[in-house]
Amino acid sequence: MGRSPRMLQNYVPILIFLGVATGIGLVLLALGFLFGSGQKDAEKLSPYECGFEPFEDSRMKFDVRYYLVAILFIIFDLEIAFLFPWAVSLDSIGGFGLIAMAIFLTLLVVGFIYEWKKGALEWD
Amino acid sequence: MAEFLQSLMAYWESFPADLRFVVIATMQILAVTICVILTVAFTTYFERKVIGSMQGRIGPNRVGPLGLLQPFADVIKLLIKEVVIPQKSNRFLFVIAPLLSIIPALATWAVIPLSDGFVIADINAGLLYVLALTSVGVYGVILAGWATNSKYAFLGAMRSAAQIVAYEIAMGFALVGVLMAAGSLNLGDITRAQAGGLSHWFILPLLPLFFVYFISGVAETNRAPFDVAEGESEIVAGFHVEYSGVAFAVFFLAEYANMVLISALTAIFFLGGWASPFEGWSFLGDDSLLRATSFFWLAAKISFFIFVFFWLRATFPRYRYDQIMRLGWKVFIPITIVWIAVEGVMAWLHVGPWARLAS
């Protein structure tokens, strides 16, 4: 047991805070639905499209580049997740840790240059 | 009176320790949350005044002295406005989306050290928690845009998702640099690592990362000049085009709370948080108030960065979308990678302000 209950206790306020934040959001929305009254009709409830009748469902096809950005994000975010523990323990891993991370970063930079040259980062 | 207080104290002591802990934590949380919400309220007033005077206007001056009650008038107006849920929308997601924006914007304050010794949750993984929660914020925007089932909202959500995601990488890399210099994920320890006055703050050795972090923060909160997700002149209001009344107010609250949060985080990571800039000036005397660490310094730094947010908005025209993506991917990410490499090598060679790292 030793340390773990003490450590977990530090996280209790976070749980409470998440609850309080949810509560504030819910109360605000509830107040809005309580006080905000009005007549609803079909025109008011239709999606806004500059006064036109909406032509089609708006969940339409979108550019594949958005998808590409999402995939690249996952790769780089994982890279950052790897860098975090390394950065925190920098003073105890010395030159070996530095070189190991240099090799890892070099591999990723090569990949980054490749996708740059391939035009994955172009928006025109 | 004294007896009454004593008996009250005795009653309080009779509670189990765990319950007392929870009650105290809840009180602290409520106090911080109310302060954050009040800050947000006056931030909106501050924004209108600052931008007003930058454009040679007066700004709000009708409600209360100097217009100071304007934010409360706005809140009441938004509360009594009708909330319209469009017919073709996904009603559940439509209501959940503003909640998903506001919860992370408020709950991140749990790990922000407001002064030396006051932080609601003093956890080891504070910075990871901050990153995790700020990432959740993007769900609010995407879900709002998708659930609305309007083309403008959909376009705004797509733009904002790709933009936030791109700048989050630059932000993460900049934080790796901060971690290398501080050697801890705890925000209090990061602040303490910068003790000793202006010359010890991370802004000097990490100057490029500071700029990358703050500008990414502006992009992350969808503020001008990176506000293509809202872009009034092109896609009306982007992801919240169909939100009205209090549902809109919650998005608004979340956006401004995020701005204050980014300002606070920048102050903590690069400007020594609660530390005084004059800490190293021994000629001021040992007990000079100017040298003491206090919440006042953190508040001053936060206010300055909030001012910079408005300054940027009043100064720059909106970026084009391809320019935004180019800045994020092709400028910020290379800068941060290079700076992390520089920092690593410098620490290894015991050079410059990084020398203490490899001790």
Q: What distances in angstroms separate CA B356 from CA A91, B34, B182, B349, B350, one per listed residue? A: 9, 40, 10, 10, 7
Expressed in angstroms, the distance from the first to the final Cα of chain B is: 58
* Per-residue pLDDT tens digits for B309-319: 999 988 888 88
In percent, the amount of chain B with pLDDT more than 90 equals 10
Low-confidence ranges of chain B (pLDDT < 50): 357-359
The C-alpha angle with vertex B163 and arms to B157 and B165, in degrees rounded to 5, equals 100
Given a cut of 80, is residue A116 above it in pLDDT?
yes
B80 contact A CB<8A: yes
Q: Which residue has the tokens 């730094």?
A: B301
Q: How far apart are CA B77 and CA B305, in angstroms?
A: 29
At a CB cut-off of 8 Å and minimum separation 6, what does B278 contact? B197, B198, B284, B288, B290, B291
3-state secondary structure B231-256: CHHHHCCHHHCCCCHHHHHHHHHHHH
- Residue A50 is predicted with a pLDDT of 64
Per-residue model confidence (pLDDT) at position B180: 83
Q: Does B126 touch chain A (CB under 8 A)?
A: no
User: For residue A61, what are its two tokens?
Assistant: 């096809």
Residues of B in contact with A56 (CB under 8 A): none
- CB contacts of A16 in chain B (<8 Å) are 22, 25-26, 29
Give the up-direction half-sphere exposure of residue A37: CA atoms within 13 A in the CB hemisphere.
Answer: 2
Residue type (1 letter), B355:
A
pLDDT of residue B14: 80
pLDDT of A6 over the 70 cut: no
- Within 8 A of A20 by CB-CB distance, chain B residues are 26, 29-30, 33, 106
Q: What is the pTM (predicted TM-score) of this model? A: 0.88
Token output for B340: 């992390």
Q: Note if the bond before B225 is cis, omega within 30 degrees.
A: yes
- pLDDT > 70: percent of chain A: 79
Restricting to A residues 50-79, those with a Cβ less than 8 Å away from any Cβ of B are 54, 57-60, 62-63, 65-66, 69-70, 72-73, 76-77
B140 chain-A contacts, CB cut-off 8 A: none
Instruction: Give the closest-approach CA distance of A77 to chain B in angstroms.
Output: 6
- C-beta neighbour count of A37 within 10 angstroms: 11
pLDDT tens for residues B347-358?
777 765 555 544
Q: What percent of chain B has pLDDT over 70?
A: 92
A28·B249 Cβ contact <8 A: yes
Q: Does A99 touch chain B (CB under 8 A)?
A: no
Q: 226-255 in B: which are within 8 Å (CB) of A?
A: 236, 241-242, 245-247, 249-250, 253
Overall average pLDDT of the A88-102 stretch: 80
Contact B183 A94 (CB under 8 A): no
Q: List C-alpha distances in Å: B192 to A66, A85, B255.
A: 40, 20, 29
More confident residue, B12 or A55: B12
Please tell me what DSSP assigns to residue B353: G
Helix axes B295-315, B17-54, angle to 10 degrees: 40
Say whether B102 and A38 touch across the interface (CB within 8 A). Answer: no
Q: Hey, is B357 helix, strand or coil?
A: helix
**B148, B245, B357, B9: which is closest to A54 by C-alpha?**
B148
Residue type at B182?
A
